[in-house]
Amino acid sequence: MSLKVIDVGNIMEEHVPSKFKESYDNVGLMLGDNNCEVSSILVALDCTLSVIDEAIRKNCNLILTHHPLLFKRPSNITTDTLLGKKIIRLIQNEINVYSSHTNLDSAKGGINDIVAGLLDLMNCETIEPSKVREDNDKISGIGRIGYVSEPLTLIELCDKVKMCLNVPYLRFCGNEAKLIKKLAVINGSGQSYFESAKNMGADCIITGDTSYHYVSDFSEEGIAVIDAGHFGTEWAGIEVFSRWLKNAIEFKGFKNSVLLSETNKDPYKYK
């Protein structure tokens, strides 16, 4: 029995249904043929040119990314644009691309939950519940807020975040000695959910892509913010997810390799 692209899509739909994507998002098969037999799968955060070349080298004809290759409809597909170069190279090498974005963030067991688990959060609630979740679903939605296993000072929490998410650097604001009991986590770009997290009693918010004035205001209100970067707050979740996908495929009776990208790196460098 051969694994096909549609089988991977069905596995993803069972675990992180596309109905949980945000209205602005684009998820699912971005490029390719649902009936194509899969050789190996390369999991990455982004479908960069280096990831495409890695897939070619490793004989992976399916790239599964978190960030959608096609977020907005392109006006043309030519080698004059970065997106055009990617699409043409993918088609030339018969590589399929599947993306699972905000649905992978939101769903039970998705990146929100993975990161909250890595940080040992207890009694978690969802910051913004999904509008399409069913009555018995108390989890699906954007962001998690819960209690740390034991209270930590802000500076101690920063060290824990660096260790648990394997990030070498982070930015933070707030009193280093502030005791953190209730912690909010919004992976990726979570600034638009800060107000909700504050209203739910967060002592500290962890996310990426924060802006100066927004963080300054929250600092004045006594709420600490840890910016571990967009990549940093998602890559650890992608690592765990790739292992889950491998197990899910094997559970279905398939033996295809699932590889975690070795070339997909944080574009930011620190000096």
Binding residues for a divalent metal cation: 66-67, 105, 230, 234
CB neighbours of 111 closer than 8 A, spacing ≥ 6? 66, 104, 105, 187, 234, 237, 238, 241
**How would DSSP label each residue in 93-147?**
TT-EEEE--HHHHHSTTSHHHHHHHHTT-EEEEEEEE-TT--TT--S-EEEEEEE
Q: Which residue ranges make up the annotated binding site?
A: 66-67, 105, 230, 234
CB neighbours of 13 closer than 8 A, spacing ≥ 6? none
Residue 101 to residue 183: CA distance in whole angstroms: 23
Helix (H) or strand (E) holding 227: strand 224-227
3 state SS of 86: helix
